[in-house]
Chains A and B, each alone.
Chain A
Amino acid sequence: MMKNMFIISGAVIVFFILFPLVGMVFSVSPQELFEAAFDAEVMNSIFLTLRASLWATIAAIIFGLPLAWVLVRLDFKGKKLIEGIIDIPVIIPHTAAGIALLSVWGRHSFFGRTTGISIIGTEIAISVAMFFVSVPFLINSLKSGLKLIDPKYEKVACTLGATPFKAFMTVTLPMLKRHLLSGSIMMWARGISEFGAVVVLAYHPMIAPVLIYDRYESFGLSHAKPVAVLLILICLLIFTVLRIIGERNRYD
């Protein structure tokens, strides 16, 4: 009895997610989809989106791995505070995050005035905005992965003649591969779907979510829909492939 009720209430959620997506995909004709796919502006914006989010993810891996290690392996005062800080981007509105970033990276910011450089309206600005809002997904995934790896693995590698850094690279990192991959996918996907922070820092060049919004505002629903469907299909394809690769890499 209970089992059936739980299955039904679970199905409600799955249906709630799938119904609008499936509905939208089928409301677009194949011809419209092809047109969108051969529209240079659409494809450029989709590639820009994928690329900018990839840069953000790569930067986050380089800086995030040491940070996650420090947070999991070391005990120090203020650790909880730092963990809280990392979660801030998840809980604040992303337009607010964009405004905050503007005050650091904008033309009139301290950075902008002293260096004369402004990243506003560039691919870098897009990556910066994506990094800000999506980096918690990677850090938290790395942290939960590291927590599962007994620090004794690193210790035993040290007794075998490895330096602590080598022990991390040859033992911990390979064992963390699955969490690194899934965290990176989460972060990348979150970056691709970002709108609020990016639109404040860089309306142009247009990433796909901004392009969808722009077409919806300027030309209406029928012009926005094919682009949206195309983006959804490309994302689904990429993440399905990455998932399969991730599952293959399990050694346990």
Chain B
Amino acid sequence: MIKLSGISKNYKIFSLKDISLEIQKGEYLVILGPSGSGKTLLLEIIASLEKPHKGSIEGVDNSKIGFIYQNLMLFPHLSVFDNIAYGLKMRGNKKMKVSETVVQTSKKLHIEHLLERNIKTLSGGEKQRVAIARAVVYKPELLLFDEPTAALDQNVKNEIQKLFRQIHRETGATVIHVTHDFNEALSVADKIAVIKNGAIVQFGTPEEIFNTPADSFVADFVGYRNVYSGKIEDNCFISGNIKIYVESKDRKKVYIAVKSEDTILSVEKIKSSARNSFHGEITDIEKKFNGYNIVVNAGFEICSTITSASFNNLELDIGKKVFITFKSSAVKVFCH
């Protein structure tokens, strides 16, 4: 287990304020926050590249970490092979063992054909794979990712996120992954810590973070309400007694998300092409600057965002029974 206690540091324009976190062995933690919130600095402190002014870190072995920076920082004067081999050489491995291990790792990441290439000639996705290979080749116990997919196209991004999940599964390494992208967080995270201006404002499972945001900052920043984890069978998302129609192949473990803006709230059942309709009681009404978030208990909590005009029109109040309706195409699926 990795334990951060009271980490504080002032650093140029950023500062970290009293950060305490516990990360279980083998867990995939995403630190989610806007740029400028001190996320990179926190990772550098965990990797002992920067010293905190206050606080302590337990459970990190500096010789067993793998670090991937946003800009990857592949060594431009070395070939792909020598980049990947760097960590092995620094550990004093014999030449034979180095090349054996490099080839083995690059095969796994499908970059063995690139080994002789110059870094400058690689595409974004290839560079990403080389950076991953360099960071995992010596089998670190802790992987630290600093916005590693920020510069990639969406397609490549999905591919790399899949790779992260695969590496996490196969190596059993603990991962701390920093990002500002809530889609990415949902694709990989076991736990999420939301950071704002150098302080952690919420820590929990993806469902906790998205469905019960600690404050309006978290709610606005994470972008989704209505996040559920479960499985998909026959175009149907199933989790306990929840059943939601989706458009996706069968999956064993997924997160689904429905934007509260994409739902229709009505007092009477409406006949429409939308296949998902739930009936329940209003349990909470949150005033937003341009409308209301209405939380409904339909056997599970679901939130709908409506305008002030609609709110007055429908005469809503706590305890009132309403319907919430949305199309199956409004459901976003995140594979895990």
Contacts and interface: CB of A to CB of B under 8 A. Distances in A.
Interface stretch (A104-112, A150-158, A188-196, A215-223): A150-158
B76 A252 contact: yes
A116 B66 CA distance: 58
A161 interface: yes
Contacts of B86: 157, 160, 162, 170
Interface string A122-133: 000000000000
Nearest to A177: B77
Nearest to A249: B77
B118 interface: yes
A183 B94 CA distance: 37
B77 A155 contact: no
Interface of A: 150, 152-153, 155-162, 166, 170-171, 174-175, 177, 251-252
B90 A160 contact: yes
B47 to A, nearest CB: 6
Contacts of A166: 90
A75 B159 CA distance: 41
A177 B76 CA distance: 12
Nearest to A171: B75
Contacts, number: 55
Contacts of A161: 63, 87, 90-91, 138
At the interface, is chain A mostly helix, strand, loop or mixed? helix
Contacts of B63: 161
A154 to B, nearest CB: 9
Given A161-B63, A174-B77, A251-B120, A155 B90 contact: no
A175 B69 CA distance: 18
B132 interface: no
Contacts of A155: 44, 49, 67, 69, 73
Given A150-B73, A152-B71, A155-B44, A160 B120 contact: no
Contacts of A156: 67, 69, 73
A159 B71 CA distance: 15
Given A155-B44, A162-B90, 13 more contacts: A152-B69, A156-B69, A159-B49, A159-B67, A159-B144, A160-B135, A161-B63, A161-B90, A161-B91, A162-B86, A170-B86, A175-B76, A251-B77
Contacts of A177: 77
Nearest to A161: B90
B65 A251 contact: no
Contact of A160 (B44, B76, B87, B144): B87
At the interface, is chain B mostly helix, strand, loop or mixed? mixed
A7 B119 CA distance: 39
B118 A251 contact: yes
B196 interface: no
B120 A252 contact: yes
Contacts of A252: 76, 120
Interface in B39-87: 44, 47, 49, 63, 65-67, 69, 71, 73, 75-77, 86-87
B118 to A, nearest CB: 7
Interface string B75-119: 111000000001100110000000000000000000000000010
A170 B75 CA distance: 10
B177 interface: no
A204 B66 CA distance: 60
Given A159-B49, A160-B87, A152 B73 contact: yes
B77 A175 contact: yes
25 contacts: A150-B73, A152-B71, A153-B75, A156-B69, A156-B73, A157-B75, A157-B86, A157-B90, A159-B66, A159-B67, A159-B144, A160-B87, A160-B134, A160-B138, A161-B63, A161-B90, A161-B91, A161-B138, A166-B90, A170-B86, A171-B75, A175-B76, A177-B77, A251-B77, A251-B120
